[in-house]
Amino acid sequence: MGMNCIIIDDEEMARIIIAQMISNHNELKLTQEFSNAMQAIKYLNQNEVDLIFLDIHMPDFTGFDFIQTIKNPPKIILVTSDKNFAIEAFEYECIVDYLVKPITEERFQKAIQRANSVKPSFTSIKESKTTIEDKTNEFYVNIDRRLIKIEFNSVTLIEAKGDYIHIKTDVKNYIVHSTLKKIEDKLPKDLFLKVHRSFIINTKKIIDIEDNSVLIGKDVIPVSRANRPELMKRLNLL
């Protein structure tokens, strides 16, 4: 049985390469190409798609944002210039393979075989892992193809910077390709608090608080009006 495919990649050259490879496979039918994920979401709401070739690195809305947005993702083959996302990729059951650009025909063939052999699954492993993660004392970030362990207790604050988050700890700072929302879900709620749309702080690291800011180490972090009541609740006020 044939598979209806779509391609989502902001780079035209990448789309053309994948389209060419799809055309070499009789069981695949390319139904649409998209240069951004938002257009693809609309299409998926109205059309049946069996397989998506999805670029991770896209402006505004990344491939992972896309996966988390759609309700019942079909099988997905990730396509990227970066090997660093491999670990995160395996957290989603819908992702059947991971192709690093430039894609070769041989590797593409293997990915299609894998897509054919995997049954569709609509559940994200992330959902079932939540209870286990709540009990751990650390989390791992993927930097330069290495998984680096960071203890929750050592984190002072996390700042959103575009498609990246800046994690500051007592000893070192890390820049990780992720969002504040994603890391917020991983952090223990009793220790961390989002005080501003761009900042999560470790409440144990607070030195002092002024009207609309909090001092963490040497950093003065803004506290938005909406988040201030929750912050005040956490404090053991005299």
Report the interface residues with other proteins, using CB under 8 A: 11-14, 16-17, 20, 57, 59, 81-82, 101-102, 104-105, 144, 161-164, 175
CB 84 within 8 A of CB 63: no
Task: Compute the least distance from the CB of residue 159 to other proteins, in Å.
Answer: 12
Task: Compute the least distance from the CB of residue 85 to other proteins, in Å.
Answer: 12
Task: Compute the least distance from the CB of residue 104 to other proteins, in Å.
Answer: 8
Dist CA 193 CA 174 (whole Å): 19
Contacts of 211 (CB under 8 A, 6+ apart): none
**What dihedral do alpha carbons 119, 120, 124, 129 form, nearest 10°?**
-20
Q: How far is CA 133 from the centre of its chain?
A: 17
Looking at beta carbons only, is 83 or 149 nearer to other proteins? 83
Looking at beta carbons only, is 144 or 210 nearer to other proteins? 144
Looking at beta carbons only, is 27 or 105 nearer to other proteins? 105
Task: Compute the least distance from the CB of residue 25 to other proteins, in Å.
Answer: 14
Q: What are phi and psi of 54, to 5 degrees?
A: -120, 125
Coil/strand/helix, residue 115: helix
Looking at beta carbons only, is 108 or 192 nearer to other proteins? 108
